[in-house]
Amino acid sequence: MYKLLSLFLAGLLLASCRKDDLIECYPTTTGVTVPASSASNLSLAEFSRRNGVPMQTFNVVLGAQAQTVTTTGGATITLPANGFLLPNGAAASGAAVLKLREIYTVPDMVLTNMPTNQPGRPGDLLISGGEFNIQVYSNSQRLRLAAGSALTMQSPIPTSQDTTRQYVWRRPAPLTSAPFDTTGWTRVSQQQVQQLPGFYRATLAFDSLGWCNIDQYWQRYSSNSRTSLLVNTPANGLSDTRVFLRPVGFNGLGRLYPTNSSGSQWTQSMPPGSEVVVAVLQSIGGQLYYGTQRLVVQANATVTPTLTPVSEATAVQLIRQL
């Protein structure tokens, strides 16, 4: 079954890729009236664009001095001195713009469509200490780090996070623009994260910065026991159906994989006995539908959450309650 599923996912991955992993977002629109023309044709891609975590921008000056910025979430990012290159390989200097997005909670993971799956291991979830998209531009040219250079990031520890060892993870670029991201998070070598009182400290030395994640392995996967969880949804294709799974009490989010092209069944491999919340978000003819179901995973469990039509603002409000 997994071989067939892998072939199916590979086909989706090849179907369409975007050239960059930068997603410009509007600020969160909770409580804001949506224009009728938009509300009547709201895809899930547009829903995430409008309600995902917003992009923050910082003006910096590249050169002989390191630059440090502080984000709205309380993280500090230090850019190295003489550490960036233009696309042609020349050293970058002078005025530049740091663009950043930061995600610390499960609701923001859902709204931004940034789950914490590992690639090639359906169901294996990571528990996140923070997801970050970091990019640096000079005159609209995206910069990359010079060899031997690195950013230093210090970010607040989410309140639900335990003391399990954290590692640095990243997402390959480009991300797929298929109905869901099949690439998942890849661990960056053996790079560990330093834990300070109230903060994580990590060194980011990717050649080209993009999405990175401070993550730990979910300890429920330490045993070899697994079972298949199947979620039924109304057939709606793949682009406008998202099925998420939140492990209760943990700051992680799985996005389930489809078992058919109609988008009526979604699966994930889970450790039995885990308490989880399944959340389904659909857009059918521009109308949003949302529903959740809480359960303790049993062997070969099948669930069918009840979906209710909701407005954009109500969908955001309900997702914020996950």
- On whether both 92 and 204 belong to a single domain, the answer is yes
What does DSSP say about strands 287-296 and 308-310: parallel, antiparallel, or unpaired? Answer: antiparallel
- On whether both 67 and 209 belong to a single domain, the answer is yes
Please tell me the pTM assigned to this model. Answer: 0.85
- On whether both 212 and 229 belong to a single domain, the answer is no
The domain tally of the chain equals 2
Q: Which of 120, 113, 145, 139 is nearest to 210 (CA)?
A: 145
- On whether both 123 and 12 belong to a single domain, the answer is yes
Question: According to the model, what pLDDT value does residue 22 have?
Answer: 43
> Could you give the CA distance from residue 202 to residue 194 in angstroms, rounded to a whole number?
6
H helices of the chain, in order, are: 2-15, 36-39, 44-51, 106-112, 312-319
* CATH code, domain with 148: 2.60.220.30
> Among residues 159, 194, 220, which one ends one of the domains?
220
- On whether both 69 and 199 belong to a single domain, the answer is yes
Q: Are 106 and 322 in contact (CB under 8 A)?
A: yes
Query: pLDDT of 168-194, one tens digit each?
Result: 998 865 444 444 555 578 888 776 799
> Among residues 220, 250, 276, which one ends one of the domains?
220
- On whether both 166 and 308 belong to a single domain, the answer is no
> Among residues 187, 220, 253, which one ends one of the domains?
220
- On whether both 180 and 71 belong to a single domain, the answer is yes
- On whether both 18 and 150 belong to a single domain, the answer is yes
- On whether both 216 and 227 belong to a single domain, the answer is no
- On whether both 271 and 124 belong to a single domain, the answer is no
- On whether both 235 and 185 belong to a single domain, the answer is no
As given in the structure block, the two tokens for residue 295 are: 């359960």
Q: Which of 233, 257, 254, 235 is nearest to 245 (CA)?
A: 254
Q: How far is CA 244 from CA 115, 208, 267, in A?
A: 8, 29, 10
Report the C-alpha dihedral over residues 80, 114, 131, 58, rounded to 10 degrees.
50
Parent domain of 112:
2-220
- On whether both 138 and 71 belong to a single domain, the answer is yes
* CATH code, domain with 256: 2.60.40
Query: pLDDT of 111-167, one tens digit each?
Result: 999 999 886 555 588 999 999 999 999 999 999 999 999 999 999 999 888 888 999
Question: According to the model, what pLDDT value does residue 205 have?
Answer: 86
